[in-house]
Amino acid sequence: MAEITLPESIRDVEPVRSVRTPAQLDYEFTAGDATTRFLTGITNKRIIGQQAPGGRVYVPPRGADPELGQPTPIDVEVAQVGTVTSFCVVNLQFYGSVMEIPYVSALILLDGADLSIMHLIQEVPADQVRIGMRVEGVWRDDADIEPTLESIRYFRPTGEPDDPHVRIPGEGHGTGLGSWVGGVAPTEAVIRNPRTGLGGNPEGASV
Amino acid sequence: MRDVAVISFAQTPMRRRVEELNEVEMLMPAVHGALRQVDMTIDDIGFTCSGSTDYLAGMAFSFVSTLDAVGPWPPIQESHVEMDGAWALYEAWVKLQIGEIDTALVYAYAKSSPGDLPMVLSRQLDPITMGPLWPDSVSLAALQARALLDSGKATEADFAEVAARSRRAALANPNAQLAWDCPAADVLAEDYLVAPLRRSDCPPITDGAAAIVLAAGDVARSKVERPAWIRGFDHRIEPIHLGLRDLTVSESTRIAAEAAGVADGPVDVAEIHAPFSHQELIVRDALVLGADTSINPSGGALAANAMMTAGLVRIGEVANRIASGEARRGVAHATSGPCLQQNLVCVLEGE
């Protein structure tokens, strides 16, 4: 730190090297239409995704289809079983976490959905979780069901054989890891435009 | 300068509290409306730019999820400003000046209702000396109003005239949140909210969204009969410390107005973004408007003040009046920051 020459009158005063100015603001959120519909389904132990006409099924829904740029008024109930599309093993305790380490956080593509949800995988040792594993949701006791995704306590293996064709949602039509197919950047030439149906590879269109 | 025009403007009805929708749900009708009016989709747009701030909803990167409203796929050219959408429009205009694209979509939105807005706005102050004092936005405006009264340039009756005229004009604006017809004397009879400001001198707290489509040259002419051409555009900022500024004048507005060429022709209509009644007097003075200019026929920010949006709405309101033939040349002003810290001036003209 640069030396500062203080006026004579305050030379004996301890210099201020830092200040703490805590700030707190309180907000009252409302869920909005799409999330309200989704969470209402959860209170009935149903997982209900949403869809725009001609669009994909989003779970959880956020109100707009990001490909079509349209609202998602159509409710589509999806299965409570799905496939692990990716996961990580958490070995660090961090502030606010109530989980015992190590634990597994995973992306799970529910049957009938086009978007993975993130949730916990339990009832299986962390080192046995794998991509392609089939899992099912485990709900809280009925009395404890609330409008929150935490009403599903975790997912656990179903014991079914793994899905050998597991895909990351969007793979092949340009989202996620599939975007840079063969090292080619995701330009309009390689990506299907979901509104016009133009561009991209036809295979991608069906994914 | 390349000819660039506002060819479409849409806004949601401005309301105190939009509880039943999240931000992207609230925004979509404005974005879709602006595109639909000129028979365009996102595939016809060269550049998209938005203005909003995460502090209002209290949600990090909320502007990323609202981008879903436009359908940004395949990947689009896009940018965001943590400012009023009027500055997003400025960025889009600069991009259009470069000449590589012919169209741009600009939108802005705010849900101010989840938080305590006057306190949220205190977070835009310098974090070391002013922020920790938590001065709310109404108190800071009152400080400015007091300085204006003390300078002898205006009276409380002048404030009340602005407040009454704005709400009366808002009766003709279907999107206005606050509209009524009462004499200025009734405003003067109100108790002070934060002296010398009364409740009617202050803007409502507003949730809402707006969107504008810009197009260059022949593209604009092919889409609409009477494009609102941007003839001058400038914005300036002043120091953050209120003590460094003469609060009774708006030097940044004056310089921006000069650079934008406000005085180069008659001004039929001026939409001034003045959230507090006394601020209209200061901005009017800095813009040097004649007596025959129609000021805030929409009711201005005193009729609806969606944060990050009300400035963009001013540009849209002027553009609409030019498009309809009601005005030939107009001025739109936008402000940001406490006590008119930052100001933007846009001159629009019909052919």
Asked if the C-beta of A188 comes within 8 angstroms of chain B's C-beta atoms, the answer is yes
Q: Where does B117-203+231-349 sit in CATH, by number?
A: 3.40.47.10
Residue A77 has pLDDT above 80, yes or no: yes
Among candidates A25, A71, A191 on the partner chain, residue whose Cβ is nearest the Cβ of B116: A25
Query: Which of B17, B23, B25, B205 would best serve as a mutation to test chain A binding (most A beta carbons within 10 A)?
Result: B25
Instruction: Report yes or no: B2 and B217 within 8 Å, Cβ to Cβ.
Output: yes
Q: Which residue of A has its CA nearest to B132?
A: A21
Asked if the C-beta of A152 comes within 8 angstroms of chain B's C-beta atoms, the answer is no
Q: Where are the domains of chain B?
A: 4-114+205-228, 117-203+231-349
Asked if the C-beta of A114 comes within 8 angstroms of chain B's C-beta atoms, the answer is no
Top CATH class of B4-114+205-228 equals alpha beta
Cβ separation of B25 and A32 shorter than 8 Å? yes
ipTM score of complex: 0.88
Ranges A12-21, A122-131, B43-52: which has the least confidence: A12-21
Tokens 């305050």 locate to: A10
Chain B CB contacts of A207 under 8 Å are: none
Bridge partners, residue B80, by sequence: B50
Give the residue from B283, B278, B281, B230 showing the smallest Cα distance to B255: B283
**Between A168 and B215, the higher pLDDT residue:** B215
| Chain B residues 103-162 with CB within 8 Å of chain A | 114-116, 119-120, 123, 127-128, 131-132
Among candidates B67, B115, B127 on the partner chain, residue whose Cβ is nearest the Cβ of A21: B127
Q: Which residue of A has its CA nearest to B27?
A: A64
Among candidates B20, B115, B132 on the partner chain, residue whose Cβ is nearest the Cβ of A21: B132
Asked if the C-beta of A46 comes within 8 angstroms of chain B's C-beta atoms, the answer is no
Residue B97 has pLDDT above 80, yes or no: yes
Cβ separation of A67 and B71 shorter than 8 Å? yes
N- to C-terminal Cα separation, chain B:
16
pLDDT at A172: 55
d(CA A35, CA B325): 44
Q: Where are the domains of chain A?
A: 33-157, 176-206
Asked if the C-beta of B19 comes within 8 angstroms of chain A's C-beta atoms, the answer is yes
Query: Which of B20, B67, B68 would best serve as a mutation to test chain A binding (most A beta carbons within 10 A)?
Result: B68
Instruction: Count CB pairs under 8 A between chains A and B.
Output: 102
Cβ separation of B21 and A194 shorter than 8 Å? no
d(CA B248, CA B113): 30
Residues A75-93 have a mean pLDDT of 94
Cβ separation of A186 and B41 shorter than 8 Å? no
d(CA B153, CA B157): 12
Instruction: Calculate how close chain A gets to B114, using CA atoms only, in Å.
Output: 5
* pTM > 0.80: yes
d(CA B194, CA B210): 30
d(CA B7, CA B35): 10
CA B200, distance to chain mean position in Å, is 19
pLDDT at B125: 93
pLDDT digits (tens, 9 = 90+) for A159-196: 999 998 887 666 555 444 344 555 555 555 566 788 88
pLDDT digits (tens, 9 = 90+) for B112-170: 999 999 999 999 999 888 999 999 999 999 999 999 999 999 999 999 999 999 999 99
Ranges A168-172, B50-54, B256-260, B344-348: which has the least confidence: A168-172
Chain A CB contacts of B20 under 8 Å are: 30, 32-33, 36
Chain A CB contacts of B120 under 8 Å are: 25
Residue B176 has pLDDT above 90, yes or no: yes
Instruction: Calculate how close chain A gets to B237, using CA atoms only, in Å.
Output: 26
Residues A70-87 have a mean pLDDT of 96
d(CA A202, CA A192): 8
Task: Write the DSSP string, B146-201.
Answer: HHHHHHTS--HHHHHHHHHHHHHHHTT-TT-S------HHHHHTSPEEETTEEGGG
Give the residue from A111, A122, A126, A125 showing the smallest Cα distance to A169: A111
Reported as a pLDDT band with limits 50, 70 and 90, residue B95 is: very high
Residues B164, B167, B173, CA angle at the centre, nearest 5°?
Answer: 155
Chain A CB contacts of B131 under 8 Å are: 21, 23
pLDDT at A100: 86
Instruction: Calculate how close chain B gets to A71, using CA atoms only, in Å.
Output: 7
CA separation, residue A85 to residues A12, A105, A163, A172, B339 (Å): 64, 11, 10, 15, 52
d(CA B324, CA B224): 11
N- to C-terminal Cα separation, chain A:
58
d(CA B110, CA B307): 6
Average pLDDT taken over every residue of chain B? 97
B304 three-state secondary structure: coil
pLDDT digits (tens, 9 = 90+) for A119-140: 999 999 999 999 999 999 999 9
Among candidates B31, B32, B123 on the partner chain, residue whose Cβ is nearest the Cβ of A23: B123
CA separation, residue B218 to residues A65, B2, B105, B225, B323 (Å): 33, 11, 17, 11, 16
Q: Which residues contact B349 (CB under 8 A, 6 or more apart)?
A: B228, B229, B231, B265, B322, B328, B329, B330
Chain A CB contacts of B41 under 8 Å are: 195
d(CA B20, CA B135): 31
pLDDT at A205: 40
A103 three-state secondary structure: strand
pLDDT digits (tens, 9 = 90+) for B270-311: 999 999 999 999 999 999 998 999 999 999 999 999 999 999
Residue A81: other Cβ atoms inside 10 A: 16
Q: What ranges make up the beta strands (E) of B282-322?
A: 294-295
Instruction: Report yes or no: A110 and A92 within 8 Å, Cβ to Cβ.
Output: no
pLDDT at A207: 36
Residue B69 has pLDDT above 90, yes or no: yes
